[in-house]
Every structure is written in C-alpha cells, then in structure tokens.
Amino acid sequence: MHAPAAASLKAASVRFGSFTAIDNLSLEIEAGSFYTILGPSGCGKSTMLRLVSDLIPAASGEVSIFGKTTEAARLAREFAFVFQDATLLPWRSALKNVELPLEVGRKRGIELPVGNRSPRELLELVGLKGRENALPHELSGGMRQRVAIARALVCQPKLLLMDEPFGALDEMTRDHLNLQLLEIWRETGTTILFVTHSIAEAVFLGQKVVMLAAHPGRLREVIDIDLPEPRTIPMRDTAEFTRYSARLRELLETC
C-alpha cells in the first residue's frame, strides 16, 4: 500500500448546463511531483483546477485529494491556489496580504496548519525582503505575483494549484519566476499542478506534462519529461528540450 495520490480524478466530468467542460477525466497526481497542464483553449485546464480546488462540483465521477474529499481538503487547507492575476487586496500591504489566510476561516472551526515559515520569512523566500509594507499598486506585476505565491505558501499546502500565474508577465520576469518557483518546489516538497499555455514553460517546469484535448475537455496524454534536475535556463537550447517541445506542439495540433 503506497501513499495516497496528491490528487486523484476518477472518471470526473464537469457540466455547465448542457455544455460539457470536462468529460470522463481520470488522472492520478503523484505526491511531490511537478505537473504542468497544457492544452488548446477550451480544453478545460482552468476548469480542472477549479474542480480539484472545490470551486466547482463534479457532475459525475470522483475527485479526491490525499484520500480526502475536495471539501475536506479545502477545510484542512491541504491545497492553495495561485490565480492568473495576483488577486491581492489593494488596501493591504504585501505582508498583510500574505497574512490573510491566517486571519480567515477560523470561525468555521478550521484548524489552520501552521507553516514552518512566518509571513515575513515567506516574503523573503520570494525575494521581497524590505517591501513588506508596500501596497500592491506600488509593486510591479511580477512582484505582485510573488506576493500571491507567498500567500499561497503560508499554510504550508501539500498541493499548490497554479492557473497560468505568469501568463501576463514579460519573458524575463517569467524566466526568473520559473526558476524561483522550481527552487520553492524543491525546498518545500509540495506537489504542484501548473496550468500554462506556453509549451516551453510546460517542458521547462514539469516532470510530467498533462496534455488535455478540447471539445469536450478530456485527457489526451501524460508525457514524462526526463530532463536532468535542477533545470537551468540554458537547458532550453538543448536538443532534448527541443525534441520535447516539438513533440508537444505536434500533439497540441491534433488535440
């Protein structure tokens, strides 16, 4: 008997009225791994994250997180979510935004898992030492997203769900944050499910790439990326990396 999967979907479907967003999706997310999710628009990438994070219910099938229902996992703060835009509260300082998860939910009897890092240390971990009191509008887009990542880590989640978190950032910032995220992943040992629409980002970050197909959203293939760890930027110019990218592009065209 091995440890339960970080997330497990069994024949899960999501419907909005008569529209099927996700059809019969079965997938096991191994604990501690870095998964990237790739697919054409309309394949239900974001919907899948929202299904796993208990934001939308499954029409049929089963979804569990570390063996629990998604609701139980949400109440236990087993997972955290990073949105495409940072979704910071604009009237709160960077530090106060990171502290938000520690302030809410207690009235529902949620026992907040205490992370081994304080909000201040988390801001330092994402490279924002000295900007604790800055308001979101005083920070750049990349910095705001790093605050959002620090906020997601404050309850030490075992599963981190990320919905195109770097999609709106420029290339340089994105590279930098990719490397930082990999470091955080190695250090915290958390499982990451990372939605992206960039093939390069999917290959660079993921140990496994989950390829979804559209209309309706369904699983196409899970591809192992056997690039050496830790990943480095120059690795993207290797023949191996290019081969993976080409393979994914080919798959994407037939989705």
Partner 1 sequence: MAALDTLSPDADYEEAERRAIRRRRVVSVAVPVGTAVALILLWQAGVRFFEVPTYIAPAPSDVAGAFVAKSDVLIMNFWPTLIEALSGFFVGNMAAILIAIGFVHSRNIERAFFPIAVFVNTIPILAIAPILVLIFGPGLTAKVVIAALICFFPTLVNMVRGLESVSPQALELARILSASKAEVFWKIRLPSSLPFLFSALRIAATTSVIGAIVGEWVGADLGLGALIIDSTFNFNSPLLYATVFMSSGLSVLLFAAVALTERLVIRW
**Under rule CB under 8 A, residue 135 binds partner 1:** yes
Which of these segments, 19-27, 32-40, 89-97, 245-253, binds partner 1 (CB under 8 A)?
A: 89-97
Coil, helix or strand at residue 53 = coil
Question: Which lies closer to partner 1 via its Cβ, residue 96 or residue 236?
Answer: 96
Q: Is 236 exposed, middle or buried (0-12, 13-18, 19+ CB in 10 A)?
A: middle
**Under rule CB under 8 A, residue 113 binds partner 1:** no
Binding mask 93-112 for partner 1 (x = CB under 8 A): -------xx-xxx-xx-x--
- Of these, 14, 21, 29, 80, which contacts partner 1 (CB under 8 A)? 80
What span, in angstroms and rounded, lies between the C-alpha atoms of 73 and 68?
6
What span, in angstroms and rounded, lies between the C-alpha atoms of 156 and 239?
37
**Under rule CB under 8 A, residue 53 binds partner 1:** yes
Which of these segments, 30-38, 88-96, 121-129, 170-178, binds partner 1 (CB under 8 A)?
A: 88-96
**Under rule CB under 8 A, residue 85 binds partner 1:** yes
- Of these, 35, 81, 204, 241, which contacts partner 1 (CB under 8 A)? 81
Is-cis flag, bond preceding 230, omega within 30? yes
Question: Which lies closer to partner 1 via its Cβ, residue 136 or residue 142?
Answer: 136
DSSP strands (E only) in the chain: 7-16, 19-29, 34-38, 60-65, 68-69, 79-82, 159-163, 191-195, 208-213, 218-224
Type of residue numbered 143: M
């529902």: which residue's tokens?
108
What span, in angstroms and rounded, lies between the C-alpha atoms of 231 and 182?
8
Which of these segments, 5-13, 58-66, 81-89, 218-226, binds partner 1 (CB under 8 A)?
A: 81-89
* Contact positions vs partner 1 (CB under 8 A): 50, 53-55, 74-75, 77, 79-81, 83-85, 87, 89-91, 100-101, 103-105, 107-108, 110, 135-137
